[in-house]
Amino acid sequence: MRAVDLIQKKRDGLELSSEEIKWLIEGYVAGTVPDYQMSALAMAIYFKGMSTREISDLTMNMVASGDQIDLSAIPGIKVDKHSTGGVGDKVTLILAPLVASFEVPVAKMSGRGLGHTGGTLDKLESIKGYQIEVTQEDFIKQVQETGVAVIGQSDNLVKADKLLYALRDVTATVDIIPLIASSVMSKKIAAGADAILLDVTVGEGAFMKTVEEARVLAQTMVDLGKAVGRKTVAVLTNMSQPVGTSIGNRLEILEALEILQGKGREDVTEFICELAQIMLGLADVEKTVAEVRQHIENGAALKKFEEMVQAQGGDLEDLYRPANVSHKVDVLAERDGYIVGLPALEFGLFAMKLGAGRAVKTDELDYETGIVFHKKVGDAVEKDQPIATIYANENISENMLTNFQKNVKIDDVSVNTKEIIEIIS
Ligand code: URA
């Protein structure tokens, strides 16, 4: 076989056979299919798409490109969760211990942030001492003993995705449904959980800009999961504004702690309890949202989170330390009215420029910087009331401040928002 013929085949809108996909993935991981041919293929997939059978072959060959985790030593139904990426998305930090507080084991591998999106690993690494590199043995032992672990993905898991994702990132081929679906599901399948909750983000701050696109991605991933015997549910969630009230690594840890202490914003707390209810249902534990919420109110979820942090070497005193920055700048409302828009993409990029995110993979992070919003979409504001505080380790220029203010949309009439748009199972 020759890669050039397979690229041409896809370019011309034809289906690649199972053998051809296997050959391409094996060759790519072995280095015999070079980056430039793989990127041409990814672009051909962007224009011509892939059939259900092709996506399934791609996913399973990606799974086979690395190790697969065997979680069978952990008793019970193991549940996992994945978000397709967002701004201020600290959901895993609360959801994982909350679900584990119901004795449902959560063995989760998370990723890093890139561009305007944040990554759970970076947030956890802002806690002094927290280890994200854990051997498979210790990972399983921690879940057996503590009920929850959130670690970094081992280098040997889905090697094809590591290579392909880095390539897609620099060749404008990230936002392609067959490639996102195979990337996400290959990692989830290889990570070994019995059941998977997929948080498919929709809106301006997400890869999927419309509900229609997100629905196709969600259904594709749910079908891939079910085809290999994993109970899979996808939830389409709103990413038109940042999740919760903060963007930035330490700031999001602090917000997660507030939510776990029952002191978070009502809408985000309710949203996470709803996700927990679905995740528990996947493990055959039927609870009402109110019952789930009790584990926030009685401190059980917070205790689980602290246990996880401690088990992974994190310093519990440092955990509660406020963000340490040289500049805190309030952004004030320009007029009376209601907040009708806080574009997630714009604020994600703003936080990235403060050092909270990476423009390229090799960028160093400033864990302390970011944004705290005092108002969210739907809230009333009065002129000169603080809408947000910028946490920075550099001067915030007038230009940056004007740019921030310009992105806060205020109108006379309020709008409704909802976090969960649709559930696909
Ligand atoms: N998240 C992933 O893991 N892979 C993608 O391709 C996009 C989002």
Atom number, ligand 1, closest to the C-alpha of residue 180: 6
pLDDT-derived band at 361 (thresholds 50, 70, 90) equals confident
Candidates 80, 103, 101, 290; CA nearest to 189 is: 80
112 pLDDT above the threshold of 90:
no
pLDDT in tens, 268-279: 999 999 999 999
Region 297-306: mean pLDDT is 98
pLDDT in tens, 152-208: 988 899 999 999 988 998 899 988 999 999 999 999 999 999 999 999 999 988 999
**Cβ(142) to ligand 1 under 6 A?**
no
127 pLDDT above the threshold of 90:
yes
Candidates 299, 308, 287, 251; CA nearest to 96 is: 308
pLDDT-derived band at 306 (thresholds 50, 70, 90) equals very high
Same fold, 3-49 and 79-318: no
Q: Which of 57, 89, 122, 161 is catalytic?
A: 161
pLDDT at 166: 87
HSE, CB side, 13 Å, CA atoms: give it for residue 50.
28
251 Cα to the center of ligand 1, angstroms? 24
Phi, psi of 46 (to 5 degrees): -60, -45
Contacts of 352 (CB under 8 A, 6+ apart): 115, 116, 358, 359
362 pLDDT above the threshold of 90:
no
331 pLDDT above the threshold of 80:
yes
pLDDT at 98: 98
242 pLDDT above the threshold of 90:
yes
Region 229-258: mean pLDDT is 97
Task: Please tell me what DSSP assigns to residue 352.
Answer: I
181 Cα to the center of ligand 1, angstroms? 8
Which residue minimizes the CA distance to atom 1 of ligand 1?
84
**Cβ(85) to ligand 1 under 6 A?**
yes
Region 17-25: mean pLDDT is 98
C-beta neighbour count of 422 within 10 angstroms:
14
Task: Please tell me what DSSP assigns to residue 349.
Answer: H
User: How do the domains of the chain map onto residue ranges?
Assistant: 3-49, 79-318, 327-411
Region 374-378: mean pLDDT is 97
pTM of the model: 0.94
Is 3-49 assigned to CATH 3.30.420.10?
A: no
* Separation between Cα atoms, residue 168 and residue 162, nearest integer Å: 10
114 pLDDT above the threshold of 80:
no
pLDDT at 360: 80
* Residue 210, CA distances (Å) to 238, 240, 410 in order: 10, 10, 23
Q: What is the mean pLDDT of the chain?
A: 95
pLDDT-derived band at 332 (thresholds 50, 70, 90) equals very high
Pick the CATH number of 79-318 from 3.40.1030.10, 3.40.50.2000, 3.90.79.10, 3.40.50.720: 3.40.1030.10
Superfamily of the domain at 327-411:
Pyrimidine nucleoside phosphorylase-like, C-terminal domain (3.90.1170.30)
Which residue minimizes the CA distance to atom 7 of ligand 1?
180
pLDDT-derived band at 116 (thresholds 50, 70, 90) equals confident
195 Cα to the center of ligand 1, angstroms? 19
Which residue minimizes the CA distance to atom 3 of ligand 1?
184
pLDDT-derived band at 113 (thresholds 50, 70, 90) equals confident
* Separation between Cα atoms, residue 36 and residue 128, nearest integer Å: 40
pLDDT at 397: 95
Give the percent of the chain with pLDDT over 90.
Answer: 92
pLDDT at 118: 82
